[in-house]
Structure formats: C-alpha cells, structure tokens
Amino acid sequence: MKKQLEKITPRDQDFSQWYTDVVLNAKLVEYGPVKGTIIFRPYGYAIWENIQKILDMEFKKIGVENVYFPLLIPESLFNKEKDHVEGFAPEMATVTQVGDKVLEEKLFIRPTSEVLMANFWQKEIKSYRDLPLLYNQWNNVMRWEKTTRPFLRTSEFLWQEGHTIHNSPEQAKKLTLKILEIYSNFATNVLMIPVINGQKTEHEKFAGAQETYTIESLMHDGQALQAGTSHYFGNNFTKVYDIKFQNNEGKWEYAYTTSWGVSTRLIGAIIMSHSDDLGLVLPSQISPIQVQIINVQNTDQVESASEQLAKELNQYRVGIDRSDKTFGFKISEAEIKGIPIRIEVGPRDLANNQVMISRRDTRQKMAVPIDEVQTVVKNMIQEYDQNIYQIALQNREQRTSHAETLAEYQNLLDENQGFVLVPFCGDIACEEDVKKKTSTNSRCIPFDVEQTKGKCFNCQKDSELRVYFARAY
Amino acid sequence: MKKQLEKITPRDQDFSQWYTDVVLNAKLVEYGPVKGTIIFRPYGYAIWENIQKILDMEFKKIGVENVYFPLLIPESLFNKEKDHVEGFAPEMATVTQVGDKVLEEKLFIRPTSEVLMANFWQKEIKSYRDLPLLYNQWNNVMRWEKTTRPFLRTSEFLWQEGHTIHNSPEQAKKLTLKILEIYSNFATNVLMIPVINGQKTEHEKFAGAQETYTIESLMHDGQALQAGTSHYFGNNFTKVYDIKFQNNEGKWEYAYTTSWGVSTRLIGAIIMSHSDDLGLVLPSQISPIQVQIINVQNTDQVESASEQLAKELNQYRVGIDRSDKTFGFKISEAEIKGIPIRIEVGPRDLANNQVMISRRDTRQKMAVPIDEVQTVVKNMIQEYDQNIYQIALQNREQRTSHAETLAEYQNLLDENQGFVLVPFCGDIACEEDVKKKTSTNSRCIPFDVEQTKGKCFNCQKDSELRVYFARAY
C-alpha cells in the first residue's frame, strides 16, 4: 500500500508535480512519441467516453446532428478569414508532401473546422427553409503548443466542435446561449464543478467571433480554467465565404453562424477540482467504475456474495477486484482510481451478514447489513457528488475577491487569490497592458454580477464592466 | 416524385454512376475540399454511429478496452519495421512544418497504428501477468489513394483498429480468429451481407503480418469487397520493437501481437449489396430511421394518430414526416433513404381504423388495422432483413464458380462471374503474374472449402490450395 502512495507528491507541496503524479499513477495517459502528445490509456479514455455519452445525448435532445468533416484544410481555403488565420497560423501542423512527392498546395491539420463548414454550407444553403443546420463532430484537432501538459494543453486533443447556421441573428445568439447552458449544467451537475457563466472580453474572444461565451472554473490551486466556450460569429464567416440564403421575401441575405466546444481538458479540470493526495476523486456519473467491490479473501463464499451484490447494484458500473493482490494494495488502487464507492466483502463480515462500505471523498467506512446495501449506496453516491461539489465551491468562494486598482489586484494575486472582480474599460490595448504587467488576463464578464459604472482598474478611464481576472491554465 | 427519381442512374445501366448517384442523393456524403476526402453528412454519419455502437459492444464483451493513440508517427519510429514501411510509405501524408518552422523530423499521419502500440508496449510490458492487453480505437487514418470513391477508397477514412498483445502464439491466434468471427457475424446478422471467411494468400496478407484473415463479400455487380481483416503478427513486431515479457519461469520471451479493423468501407458494402434504382435499402439494425411514419395530410387527427403510433413503436427508431412536401415527394424521400418500413397515416384510412404499411425492399403495401401495427411491424422487419440477405446471397451464389485453368478463369471474368475457386500454388510470384495478366488477385483461402491437391491454375505446378480469385473493389 505504501509503495503506491509514495508515488504521488502531496498536493500542497507541489501542485504541478502532484497533478502529473496523479495522471500517470492513475494510468490515465502516457506521453506519446511526438512532443506534446498523449496516449489515452483505457482508464483515461473510458472517462472521455462517459463525458461523450452524456453530452452527446444533450446535444441530440435540442436537434443537433453528428457529422464528420475531413482532417485536412487547404491553405487557400483557410487563409480567407484574416482573424482566424492570425489566431491559428503559428500553431498549425502542415502537410507538405505525400510519400516522396511534394504537394502543390500546403494542407493544414485542422485546428478547428469553421472554414470547412463554411465551405460546405456555401454550396448547401439556398433558402431559409434549409436553415437552421445544427452540426456537431467528435474528433481530433491539432494546435502546436510550446508548453504542454496532459489534458490541459496538448498538441493534439480530442473534443467536440459544434457548428450551426441560422437565418437570423436572434436565433443564432439564442443557440449560442442554449449551448452555454448545456455546458454549464453539465459541469455543475455531472462533473460537480462549479462554473461562472459569462462573456469573453474583446481581447479574449475567439479568432473571428463577434461574441464568445464561456464557463470558467477555479482549480484547487487557485488558477482558473476555461472549461467550455460558445461563439457567435454573426455573419463574419458567411460574408467571407459568401454564404447566402433567400429569405421568405425572396431576398438574399447572409446567414449567421455559431461554434462551440469542450475538449479532453475537462478531464484536467476534474482532476484539479476534486482529487487529493491519494489520487483521483471522480464524479460518479463519469467514473468508469462507480462501485468497486473488493474481495477481502478469494473464497467461494466471498466470491458468490460479491457477485450477488454486483447483480443487485446493476444500475451502476460495478467492478469486482478478485485479484491475488494484497488487501492494502487493492484499497490503494481503488483510491488512486478515484472510484466513488468501495465495498469490502470479507468472511468475518459475511458471518455477521454485513459488508464494509466506504466513500472515496471522506474515506468514512461503515458496516452495512447486506440487505441495506442498495439503499445505502444510492444515498451515498448522491452525498458523495454533493460533497465534492461543495468542496470545490468553497475553494472558489474563498479565493474569489474584488479589487479597484491594479496594485490591489496584484496584491491579491500574490496572496494566491483566484477570481478577482475588477472595474474594467474593456479596451483591447488596456487588457494587453494588464497581461504584460501581471501575466494574467480576463476570464469573463460574468452574467450574475451587476455591471456597474466605475474607473478601470488599470487605465483609470471610465468603465462600464465588472470583469473577473485571474491566473489561468 | 419523378423529379427525385430521375437523379439516380439505373443500376444495370451504369453501376458505378448508380453508386455515386445513390450516395449523393441519399445525402450520405459530399466531397471534401481535399481530393479523395469526403464529408459525412448527418445521415451518413448516423449509419456509422449505429455500426460503431453494435461492434463496440461486441468488442467490450470479450474484454477489449478502448484507447486513443496520437495521430502523428515520427519517421524514425515508423521506419523500423521494413515490410510495414514498404507497404505504406508511398501513401503517407507527411507533416514537415508547423507554422513557418520546419520540423527536425518528419511526422507521418498514421495510416494505421501498429508502431505506436509497439512503442508503448515496449515500455509497458514486463511480466506475463501484464498480458494479454486487448486495445481498440475508433479514429481517422490516412492513406493517399490515386483513385478514390466515397466510402470504398478515400484518402482519409474512419475505422476501428484493434491491437492486442499476448504471451503465447496460441492465445494470439485464437484472438485473431475470434475477431474474425465477430466481424463475420456482424456482416451476416446485422448488415445482412453474406461473407466468406478465409485466410489471405502470401501475396495479399497485410504488410508485416504472418497471417491475415478476412471476410469477403460480393457486391451486386459481381465484384468482391474485403469487408474486414484480422492479422496475426506472431512476434514480427515485438522483435523489431524489442517487446519482451518475463514468463512464469522467469525467462524473457518476445510477445505476440494481432491487429484487426473494419472501416467506413462497410457503408459502401451495404449500398452495393442491397440498394436499388430507387436509392438505399438499409439493413434495419443500422438504419438511422427504422420506421418512417408519413402524414398523408397535416390534420390534427392525423398528427395525433401518428404520434400515438410512434409511441407504440418506441422500441424502434421512428421518424414522422409532417413536412408540407407533397405526398409523392415524401414517399420518394423515404425510399431514397432506404428506410425499411413506411407507415402512411391518412384521414380516409383512419376512418376505417387502419393505416397503410409498406416495405422498402418489395414495395408491397398493405392495409393494417391500427391495433395490429406493432405485431405487423415486428414481423415485417424480420422478413425484410431476411429477404435482403437472401437476395444478396442468391446474387453471390449465381456468381460463384470454379475454374481449373487461367483461360477458364478469364472466360468466367468475361462473363462477369464473381468468386472463382481455383487450384493455386500460393506463390507470391505466381499471384503477381495472375495480377498482371488479369488485373485481379486472390480474395481468400476459404475455411469452408476442402483444400485439395491439384495443379495451379496459372503456373501448373503442384498446388495444395483452393482459392477464390475475383475482381475486387
């Protein structure tokens, strides 16, 4: 048991090393042969599959359809939208040859697929009757990053990218916000991560977007993490790619588009929100195993009791550890893997018609009569999820404050504060200045904070916004 | 109605054009901006999702775990396995730069991931206790093709690639054949496509494999299509990549690996096995819509009857066409889409407490009392699937023959025969010769045909094999 635990650096000693230790020891990933890439091992990929399943269902409920667009984008097609090019050009992996043959035109590995959608829609859309189209794809994209970390920032990552096209700005904006709501509910109720819903500033909005909306979370160490974004493009893309439809009066109009995405970054957010010195602590809905039954001894009696329990708990994903590892090792492994509920089945307890049940978060263990296991597990899982949410929320609340001046803001950063609400002018140049001075930038203009007038915390000009700034992943 | 139907070239007039017309008119795909790539539209992708769901479940049943390995393979890593390099080098899309910066080492977009698995396993595996590992990934791969056709041969395609590693040749071979069985059952019982299970000849086996197994199907036009393959590598890869494990006697041994895959090609096979002049004919289990309810008129009474029916049929994927298109257009659209069962709900029939139900394959239509719809649909779907299987089987049987000499074989090809069983020596050079003379090659050494001695149909040397040759996609 000790042997395993020693591998994980204590979280408060070195957060960054702790994160790496958890990721590797829980066998979520291994580093790939190309710098900045990761291999998703079965346990890491199973988490992603559970995320996919739930989100995919939510998207389909509002009429989103899955598609698959190609990996490669011709240079000439990509270069049409100037902001987009500027945002992505330095990060793009470029195919220049096939076998020994040099290609006539460079092909970019998609960093995102707006231009491919635009190119398709240009031919596809003729009438207002063709709209809206609500597309989504689950795929891999590449953005070459200098500094990489598993899940948080990798050259290649997995995500979903939604793309929609509409016949009115109102409908497109409504969809943008509907998606933000889906993301926000998913983070809160499935991942048990509290998030702040808001809008990105001009400086931080997506390359080519008119408006970017975001859900922002705060990690255990006080750094913010953008967990999902939803972009309203207006007709920026449709003008550049000439996507028009005939409205119900027969006139030609440019259409309105959106895009939105969450990625395998969410797995990083889960780890840094909930996990501890013993390893992962996984929200029950995305945990590959929700209830781990551990055979204390491998006798026929224990085995048949475990199998019976697994049957009774078949509404959950149940694992049985019947390996010949030591008891301590089995416990330690279940803890590193972050399995919410653990049931220990041993001969002595069985003689008393009971088993031991414990929670991964509190590590409280209790004897439970066998015929009460179902009820106890049901309640315990709910309490477990609520508790890990509350801990994350408390951390965020303790680390959320406000400042009126840059000096105050810098002091708060030094004190390791997380979100700091400041009056902000909203100017791109001013935010760039803050970034230079503090290496931080804005996270969002929050929806649930009153936007009052004041003096910008940096440039002192009149400001109309209250914005969260923070160090961020 | 006519307007739509005119778009599809009759199948017997020009099979190739018919295929393209069906693919495009059923809105399965559109061509991508890079030559040889396709865009999966919602309807095409939904078929793939249904294929994934069923196969993924079958893999998981035998203990396969999903993973995700990176897209890019460093040149030095790839070049270790010589046969593999020779097989894939000319087709590999190569990343040479990121932004403006030229990379120090070329990176290949994976054509398949054997070498990535090998590289990972080299570090991962120490003891026989670590084995077997049964991995699978659903991803995109690239093989640059000169001549491309939607689904059948595209530069980028979607597939699953399974990779397993074992501590004995027996276990690895058993897995290879178990997978072939899963593929064969899936083709037969889900896609309703009859297949021949067999082994590939030396000439046709996979680059780097010791043995390749295959399921071979015959399309409506008499050309064969390889629908899935499963490879046994022995320790070819583990020797090159130095993957050893300590056996239960403490000695170091090379491990044994397999790989296996099916791709979006299967969608091409479905189309060319079952579809007709009116469009797609989809096997019920992978059809995105299994029962299409068509409102003959859009009255409240019709709508509520349709909704009631949809509820009663909720074990199926049911669509309701309540659009304001003409009745004929709705019918035509359901037919192009290949929806197995169609229910027409109109006021006159409702007055008689009945609806009209028809099958896509036979186009037989019958009046069915409303309270018998469930039973009728259930039986009809089974009969439908059996019937499309029988039609495909009949086609194959009519087009399967045997030859003793090359001249006979060539005559049969001229007569548009499909599979031709011939006595064959098995030599690579001899098969190369047949390929040059006839532009065809072997499909497989079938399991269910007695392997008797004879004289090779081409070189006249003693032969011990009976092999199917055919034109193929």
CA distance B181 to B171: 15
Q: Are residues A375 and A451 in the same domain?
A: no
Work out the minimum CA distance from A148 to partner chain B, whole angstroms.
15
Q: Is the pLDDT of residue A124 over 90?
A: yes
CA A225 to chain B, closest CA, distance in angstroms equals 24
Mean pLDDT of A100-108: 96
Helix (H) or strand (E) segment spanning residue A408: helix A406-414
pLDDT band (50, 70, 90) for residue B4: very low
Q: Please, which pLDDT band fits residue A224 given cuts at 50, 70 and 90?
A: very high
Question: What's residue B84's pLDDT?
Answer: 77
- In chain A, what residues touch B123 (CB-CB under 8 Å)? 30
> How far is A9 from chain B, CA to nearest CA, in Å?
22
- The verdict on B387 touching A (C-beta cutoff 8 Å) is no
Q: Which among B66, B89, B116 has the least Cβ separation from residue A45?
A: B66
State how beta strands B65-66 and B38-40 pair: unpaired
- Given an 8 Å threshold on Cβ–Cβ distance, is B98 in contact with A91? yes
Answer yes or no: is B305 within a domain: yes
Phi/psi-derived region of residue B323, left when phi > 0, alpha when psi is between -120 and 50, beta in every other case: beta
Domain CATH number, residue A445: 3.30.110.30
- B87 vs A: CB within 8 A: no
Partner-chain residue, chosen from B91, B92, B99, that has the shortest CB–CB distance to A90: B99
A72–B93 CB contact, under 8 Å: yes
Pairwise CB contact (< 8 Å): A66 & B73: no
pLDDT of residue B1: 37
Nearest to B67 among A41, A92, A124 (CB): A41
Range of the domain at B324: 289-382
Query: Domain with B334 in it: what CATH number?
Result: 3.40.50.800
Describe the strand order of the beta sheet including B196-199 as a list of residue ranges: B65-66, B133-142, B156-166, B256-263, B224-234, B211-218, B196-199, B441-446, B465-470, B420-424, B401-402
pLDDT for B199: 98
In a domain, A392, yes or no: no
Task: Give the residue on B whose Cα is nearest the Cα of A323.
Answer: B129
Query: Which of A70, A74, A96 is nearest residue B97 as measured by Cβ atoms?
Result: A96
Looking at the partner chain, which of B77, B97, B135 has a beta carbon nearest the beta carbon of A33? B77
Domain co-membership, A151 together with A264: yes
**pLDDT > 80? residue B6:** no
* CATH at A263: 3.30.930.10
Say what percent of chain A tops pLDDT 70. 99
Report how many domains make up chain A: 3
A120·B49 Cβ contact <8 A: no
Looking at A274, A302, A328, which one is the last position of a domain?
A: A274
Q: Which pLDDT belongs to residue B359?
A: 97
Are B229 and B200 a contacting pair, CB within 8 Å? yes
Tokens of A369: 């009569």
In-domain check, residue B99: no
pLDDT of B185-242, one tens digit each? 999 999 999 999 999 999 999 988 999 999 999 999 999 999 999 999 999 999 999 9
**pLDDT at residue B85 in the model:** 82
Q: Is the pLDDT of residue A220 over 90?
A: yes
Q: Give chain A positions within 8 Å (CB) of B48.
A: 68
Banded pLDDT at A455 (limits 50, 70, 90)? very high
Would residue A390 count as lying in a domain? no
pLDDT at B3 (0 to 100):
44
Residues A342, A297, single domain; the answer is yes
Predicted confidence band of residue B81 (pLDDT cuts 50, 70, 90): confident
Same domain, A16 and A157: yes
Residue B183 sits in the same domain as residue B134: yes
For residue B38, count other CB atoms closer than 10 A to its CB: 25
Q: Do B74 and A139 touch (CB under 8 A)?
A: no
B116–A contact, CB cutoff 8 A: yes
Could you tell me which residues come within 8 angstroms of residue B113 by beta carbon, excluding any fewer than 6 positions away?
B69, B73, B137, B139, B141, B161, B163
pLDDT (average), residues B278-294: 98
Out of A42, A73, A98, name the one closest to residue B144 (CB).
Answer: A98
Q: Report the pLDDT value the prediction gives residue B207, as an integer from 0 to 100.
A: 86
Is B40 an 8 Å CB contact of chain A?
A: yes
User: Do A19 and A70 share a domain, yes or no?
Assistant: yes
Give residues with Cβ within 8 angstroms of A286, minimum separation 6.
A47, A50, A51, A54, A190, A191, A270
> Is the same domain home to B266 and B310?
no
- Reply yes or no on whether the pLDDT at A6 is more than 60: no
Q: Which tokens sit at B169?
A: 């040749």
pLDDT value for B321: 96
Q: Are B196 and B243 in the same domain?
A: yes
Asked if residue A82 is part of any domain, the answer here is yes
Of chain B residues 92-111, which have a CB less than 8 A from chain A?
92-100, 107, 109
pLDDT over 70 at B9, yes or no = yes
- If you write DSSP's letter for every residue of B183-198 in order, what string do you get? HHHHHHHTS----EEE
Tell whether the model's pLDDT for residue B162 goes beyond 90: yes
Structure tokens at B473: 């996609």
What distance in Å separates residue B412's CA from the closest CA in chain A?
A: 37
Do B435 and B330 belong together in one domain? no
Residue A22's pLDDT band, with cuts at 50, 70 and 90, is very high
Helices (H) and strands (E) in chain B, counts: 15, 25
Q: Which residues pair with B166 in a beta bridge?
A: B256
End of a domain among A218, A244, A274? A274
Report whether pLDDT(B87) > 90.
no
Q: Do A39 and B68 touch (CB under 8 A)?
A: yes
Q: Which of B42, B45, B95 sits opposite A93 (nearest CB)?
A: B95
- Is the Cβ pair A116, B32 closer than 8 Å? yes
From B264, B268, B269, select the one nearest B217 (Cα to Cα): B269
Q: Does B67 touch chain A (CB under 8 A)?
A: yes
Residues A259 and A300 in one domain: no
**pLDDT of res. A84:** 78
Does the CB of B62 have a partner CB in chain A at under 8 Å? no
Q: What is the pLDDT of residues B365-382, one digit of tens each?
A: 999 999 999 999 999 999
Residues B257, B364 within the same domain = no
User: Between residues A146 and A381, which one has the greater pLDDT?
Assistant: A381
Residue A186 placed within a domain = yes
Mutate to test the interface with B, among A37, A71, A73 (most CBs of B within 10 A): A71
- Name the residue in chain B with its Cα closest to that of A133: B42
To the nearest whole percent, how much of chain B has pLDDT over 90?
95
Backbone angles phi, psi at A410, to 5 degrees: -65, -40
- Position B2 pLDDT exceeds 50: no
Cross-strand partners of A230: A213, A260
One DSSP character per residue, B125-188 reads --BGGG--EEEEEEEEEE---SS-BTTTB-SEEEEEEEEEEESSHHHHHHHHHHHHHHHHHHHH
Q: Give the single-character DSSP code of A466.
A: E
Are A374 and A405 found together in one domain? Answer: no
Task: Report CA Rg, chain A.
Answer: 25
Tokens 């035998």 belong to residue: B62
Q: Determine the residue among B30, B56, B64, B68 to mutate to test chain A binding: the one whose Cβ has the most chain A Cβ atoms within 10 Å.
A: B68
Which residue has tokens 């690639």? B161
Tell me what pLDDT residue A5 has. Answer: 46
Strand-pair category, A465-470 with B101-109: unpaired
Burial class (CB in 10 A: 0-12, 13-18, 19+), A400: middle
pLDDT in tens, A165-180: 999 999 999 999 999 9
Query: pLDDT tens for residues B402-456?
Result: 999 999 999 999 998 999 999 999 999 999 999 999 999 999 999 999 999 999 9
The pair of structure tokens assigned to B164 is 């397993």
Q: Which two tokens stand for residue B174?
A: 């058993």
Residue B25 falls inside a structural domain: yes
CA angle A133, A136, A139 (to 5 degrees): 150
- Identify whether A34 is part of a domain: yes
Tokens describing residue A177: 């916000």
Where do we find the tokens 């910008």?
A: A456
Ordered alpha helix ranges (H), A264-372: 265-274, 300-312, 327-336, 347-351
Q: Averaged over A104-129, what is the pLDDT?
A: 96
Say if residue B147's pLDDT is above 60: yes
